[in-house]
């Protein structure tokens, strides 16, 4: 089962992917998390990615596609994966079709998580993530048991560099311009399922699970 979580920054892709992956024992393939891991290790790709991420722009398609292709080709993705934050452009969506074709796999569905902009800003402004495992928290909506410590791995929590007001605005603009065309792309392919993601975290999970169950043979 290969699922895509499609949605604006702050729509809850990372939060929900973590839950869905646990339920189906699937790997969580999040392009943003992969880039942040490169940033932390100070690889050449990390240095390149930082120059785009810091200003809320997309990392160029060629390097992004190559990174995700390598990840999806690993043996743990043989049974599927939950994709979070990829694809984000038409070129990436077309490349994903080819990658899955080469792997003898196909896309099961695309879950589009709809949330109004003012709610997104509130969510991103209060987000904290784990420096170690990247699990997302929110100071008000999803607080950790102990402030500053990840419930899952004990790692230290911090604010993402790109969760500053100007960068949030740039990311929302980039999403509007470059990623929203994918809604129609997947609608035409008959793969799109819209979820109202402006509900409590548990309610969104339930809505996603209902759809995913309906997609399974």
Of the candidates 50, 69, 90, 160, the residue annotated as catalytic is: 160
In angstroms, give the least distance from the CB of 114 to ligand AP5: 12
Cβ closest to Zn ion, residue 63 vs residue 139 = 139
Which conformational region is residue 136 in: left (phi greater than 0), alpha (psi within -120 to 50 degrees), or beta? beta
In angstroms, give the least distance from the CB of 71 to Zn ion: 20
Look up 50 and say whether it is catalytic.
no
- Interface mask (CB under 5 A) for Mg ion, residues 93-132, using x and -? ----------------------------------------
- What is the rounded CA–CA span in Å between residue 202 and residue 94? 32
Residues contributing to the site for ligand AP5 (CB under 6 A): 7, 9-15, 31-32, 35, 52-53, 56-59, 64, 85-86, 88, 92, 123-124, 126-127, 136-138, 141-142, 162, 171, 200-201, 204
Look up 36 and say whether it is catalytic.
no
Cβ closest to Zn ion, residue 126 vs residue 155 = 155
- What is the rounded CA–CA span in Å between residue 75 and residue 38? 21
Cβ closest to Mg ion, residue 32 vs residue 109 = 32
- Interface mask (CB under 5 A) for Mg ion, residues 11-40, using x and -? ---x--------------------------
Look up 148 and say whether it is catalytic.
no
Instruction: With contacts defined by CB under 5 A, name the span among 6-14, 65-73, 93-101, 185-193 that binds Mg ion.
Output: 6-14
Cβ closest to Zn ion, residue 133 vs residue 189 = 133
Of the candidates 13, 36, 123, 128, the residue annotated as catalytic is: 13
Cβ closest to Mg ion, residue 105 vs residue 126 = 126
Look up 69 and say whether it is catalytic.
no
Place of tokens 């799109």: 192
User: Would you list the DSSP string of the chain?
Assistant: -EEEEE--TTSSHHHHHHHHHHHHT--EEEHHHHHHHHHHHT-HHHHHHHHHHTTTPPPPHHHHHHHHHHHHTSGGGTT-EEEES---SHHHHHHHHHHHHHTT--EEEEEEEE--HHHHHHHHHTEEEETTT--EEETTTB--SBTTB-TTT-PBEE--TT-SHHHHHHHHHHIIIIITHHHHHHHHTT-EEEEE-SS-HHHHHHHHHHHHHHH--
- What is the rounded CA–CA span in Å between residue 204 and residue 197? 6
Q: Which residues contribute to the site for Mg ion (CB under 5 A)?
A: 14
Active site residues: 13, 88, 127, 160, 171
């Amino acid at each position: 089962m290969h699922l895509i979580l499609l949605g604006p920054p702050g729509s809850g892709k990372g939060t929900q992917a973590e839950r869905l992956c646990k339920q189906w024992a699937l790997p969580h393939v999040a392009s943003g998390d992969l880039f942040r891991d490169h940033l932390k290790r100070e690889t050449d790709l990390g240095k390149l990615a930082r120059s785009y991420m810091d200003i809320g722009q997309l990392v160029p398609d060629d390097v992004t596609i190559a990174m995700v292709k390598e990840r999806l080709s690993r043996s743990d993705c043989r049974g599927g994966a939950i994709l979070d934050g990829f694809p984000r452009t038409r070129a990436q969506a077309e490349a994903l079709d080819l990658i899955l074709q080469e792997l003898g796999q196909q896309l099961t569905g695309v879950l589009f998580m709809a949330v109004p902009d003012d709610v997104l800003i509130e969510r991103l402004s209060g987000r904290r993530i784990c420096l170690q495992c990247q699990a997302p928290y929110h100071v008000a909506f999803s607080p950790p048991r102990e402030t500053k410590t990840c419930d899952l791995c004990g790692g230290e929590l911090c604010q993402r560099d790109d969760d500053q007001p100007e960068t949030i605005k740039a990311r929302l603009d980039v999403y509007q311009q470059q990623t929203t065309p994918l809604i129609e792309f997947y609608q035409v392919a008959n793969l799109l399922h819209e979820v109202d993601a402006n509900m409590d975290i548990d309610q969104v999970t339930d809505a996603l699970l209902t759809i995913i169950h309906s997609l399974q043979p």
